[in-house]
Structure 1
């Protein structure tokens, strides 16, 4: 069982003091009351220390110092070992080896265990961040390459005369440009959120009103996807950025259009304790348990073979989570026994005088 370092040092010092006292006290007692009575019965107070006295006192002092040194060395080793382990692992992480972990032997004090655990958690997060960065760089290149290749091919065809200029062709080119702009804006939003610089213009709002506005803006898109909606919009007043929250609501509804067409989508708002919520539940195919854990990762799609035309950019849910966290809340996928997917945005209830500003 882990022990507190302060109490361990205090108890060790007390034990060392008592031990030194016991060695000196009982050693001198034995020396004067037994050895002197047997060896020097004629001893008087005027006698000086004999050679035996000096040797005996030296032996007692040596035994005491040796004992204290041994126990002190053991204690120091228990303190230094976890620090050396953390220092070695930190050096490997600094050199780029994010798989490095510190180790801890049994019997160390509690603070050493906390230090090692905290360091290992930090190293694990750095390793995940490095892997995510590498994956994101590859995914960004892939996401941008497709529309850029199409744009270049169309423009080259126009230049060579292979395509006849038409309003329809120009409309498609504009759509690809819009796709590029959307990716850039999504990446910008995530970058600002990660840097803590997502500027939110806070005002008092009702999630029920904002949810209804988001549904209205997507009415045609939901109809084309064959989605029927059911609403349970109860008042949920909070302080937040109106445009950012609508962006998050629209992203969840667009997810339903992509992944759960011809299903029923239930949209709810309300208050639960000290939080307000926006909940979007569909009756589509849903996600596996493993997919639920990865749903908020950048560029991740349930089906890796899908491109943008079928599966979006893979940034929708990460942006939803980033916006929710910027408001001091969170976005979660709710557990479900049946098919479908339920995503909930949770935000703090309105507090008078609260101004949301996540800039450092």
Structure 2
């Protein structure tokens, strides 16, 4: 394909040269015929074609063809080189090597350079998606295996008469089933969000009122974790799915309860320009800059063993971001000069009843 394009561009340049030569030659011939036949018919006109004229025309035509061939070859080379490097990287990616990248050529044209840059960006995203998929599959298997193993062991014990069927045992079994259902629901929400089909039922919603309802439902749990809760809830009205907003707020506050027990938590809502926001700040251990960049990755925990022992699935903050983006907004980890973590949900302030 590259050779074909090279040859085509070269042939095109030669054809253009021949066409230009023919136009000039015929134009001059017609011009002189017009002068001597119509304007000055009595003027002396030498009709003999001399050998020198033939040599001169041949030299000029040869030089023009050589120049056209050289220019066409160099032009084709600069056009084809980025395509060849992109094609080579694409073949490697097709075989499963997602680390392949197209070589950036400094002498390529702007459009070709943009093609290489866009291709490399796509390859980088594919590599991240593949790594996330591999990690997610492993994490999903781990997260589901633990409660399933416990359930099977308890049920087998009940069947063999090892365990006595008490209400407390049944409550624990139900709690494991609830954990499984929660993980499945969260995975489904993330899958729908990635597909751009997370269903939203939008009405006029006040982030301040929704946050107040959420805090009232979790206040005893937060107090039980030794958390001192303060709030500054200003009206922040927009069109959004109130149930999804409460789900996101619960995930943020549950994150505080699990990973920042005994800290001071401040929740605030308000309006800034064309956006409304929900912000939750705690005084716990916080995260390093590197960990803040990974906080929204599925199943990621700053401390794996600690996260699992506290019951976290690693899906809370990814759910928060999925809900925010489904509303056309964003979820952020704000930088902090002191210890602690600040999570902010920022949504567009809409005057029309639509969520996207």
User: Same fold by TM (over 0.5)?
Assistant: yes
Match of 2:306 in 1: 306
Moved more, 150-159 or 74-83: 74-83
Q: Which runs of 5+ in 2 are unaligned?
A: 1-8, 26-43
Tell me the SS of whatever aligns to 1:305.
Answer: helix
Q: CA deviation at 1:109?
A: 1.6
Partners of 2:240 and 2:327 within 8 A in 1: yes
CA distance in 1, matches of 2:76, 2:270: 57
Match of 1:124 in 2: 124
CA distance in 1, matches of 2:326, 2:200: 8
What do residues 298-323 of structure 1 show as CA deviations (whole Å, max 9, x unaligned)? 00000122353325000000000000
Partners of 1:204 and 1:350 within 8 A in 2: no
> What is the aligned-residue RMSD (CA, Å)?
2.1
Match of 1:36 in 2: none
CA distance in 2, matches of 1:259, 1:200: 29
Match of 2:133 in 1: 133
Tell me the SS of whatever aligns to 1:197.
Answer: coil
Tell me the SS of whatever aligns to 1:252.
Answer: helix
Tell me the SS of whatever aligns to 1:306.
Answer: helix
CA distance in 2, matches of 1:308, 1:179: 12
CA distance in 2, matches of 1:307, 1:210: 27
Q: CA deviation at 1:56?
A: 3.3
Q: CA deviation at 1:159?
A: 1.2
The number of aligned residues is: 322
Partners of 1:259 and 1:311 within 8 A in 2: no
Q: CA deviation at 1:225?
A: 0.3
Match of 1:356 in 2: 355
CA distance in 2, matches of 1:94, 1:300: 28
Match of 2:33 in 1: none
Moved more, 47-56 or 299-308: 47-56
Return closer, same or farther for 1:146/1:66 CA change in 2, 3 Å cut-off.
Answer: same
CA distance in 1, matches of 2:99, 2:298: 22
Partners of 1:236 and 1:276 within 8 A in 2: yes
Return closer, same or farther for 1:47/1:185 CA change in 2, 3 Å cut-off.
Answer: closer
